[in-house]
Homo-oligomer: A and B are copies of this chain.
């Protein structure tokens, strides 16, 4: 055990795309647990698109990271010193430890992990926040019925890939939108999606229309922008749109040029009786046990699959995160911290 904690702090706020210069690695003295506390060493750090929002000062559902503060993020950690009998040394936990080696917790918000039940890293992906986002958003807002068509963008990512697989388990048709032929092949060949559409192709609206001959009943929104514009004309009456993320817009510094298309959107809402609803996973916090039980069983039974994209070393986190916002990852983006 060392006395040094490496951490990555927000060095400055990006205007547009973040660059490595917006982050800074610091070394500080490791924190000391007080009575009731545990000292945790991070093994895995989760990188997720929502973190772009925390880098901005704009009001959102969570407060921003301040300049000089450690970047926030979900972690899998091991208890390396304990003054809390609930979490003895050696306990493995999922928590929210941020972009660093070591942190102190009083135990609140820690979830004990059993490495025999599932690989530890799944607690940050298919059995963690992204998986629960897919599960709760699709089942509470999307509510796919057998025979309906469910479209999800960023479909090779940890949220989208589970959305499509759950849609299939519920008897719906799953159409995934992803960037590039490898991801599209993975969706159909590995995960059992009915169709995959490459958003980098020449004619996204045409390709999507071809993949959805009966229109779209559920559109799980992760990205916004051009993908949403291609989806809108294909939506059926009474379509449901869980709005989980808008990653295509997170780096925008100005609104797109005119005309103002918002009246088109509202007119579609009215005439098609659309149901558009934003959510974040913790709006459904009371469903965590149901999620872990059901998706955990599916995962053990091989009824759902997942894929991880792991970089080695905390110092790789900024670059991996910048790539994530551009869709360069292929699977759940994780940092293994050695």
Q: Which residues of A contact B (CB under 8 A)?
A: 59-61, 221, 224-225, 228, 237, 243-246, 249, 252, 254-267, 269-280, 283
Contacts and interface: CB of A to CB of B under 8 A. Distances in A.
A130 to B, nearest CB: 16
Contact of A272 (B257, B267, B269, B278): B278
Nearest to A254: B259
B278 A274 contact: yes
Given A257-B259, A259-B257, A266-B224, A277 B279 contact: no
Contact of A277 (B60, B271, B273): B273
A278 B283 contact: no
Contacts of A252: 263
Given A61-B271, A275-B277, A256 B265 contact: no
Nearest to A141: B275
Given A256-B259, A258-B258, 6 more contacts: A246-B270, A262-B262, A265-B265, A270-B278, A272-B278, A276-B276
A195 to B, nearest CB: 25
Contacts of A271: 59-61, 278
A267 B261 CA distance: 14
A135 B230 CA distance: 34
B277 A274 contact: yes
A259 B255 contact: yes
B277 A269 contact: yes
Nearest to A259: B255
A260 B269 contact: no
Nearest to A272: B278
A224 B261 CA distance: 13
Contacts of A224: 263, 266
A119 to B, nearest CB: 31
A267 B246 contact: yes
A270 B256 contact: no
Nearest to A229: B262
A281 to B, nearest CB: 11
Contacts of A225: 263
Contact of A243 (B60, B264, B270): B270
Given A263-B252, A264-B255, A280 B273 contact: yes
23 contacts: A60-B271, A61-B271, A61-B272, A243-B266, A244-B270, A246-B270, A252-B263, A255-B258, A256-B258, A257-B259, A258-B258, A258-B260, A260-B260, A261-B262, A265-B265, A269-B276, A269-B277, A271-B278, A273-B277, A275-B275, A275-B277, A275-B278, A276-B276
A263 B260 CA distance: 10
Nearest to A225: B263
Contacts of A265: 262, 265
Nearest to A244: B270
A57 to B, nearest CB: 13
Contacts of A243: 266, 269-270
A259 B246 CA distance: 18
Nearest to A59: B271
Contacts of A258: 255-260
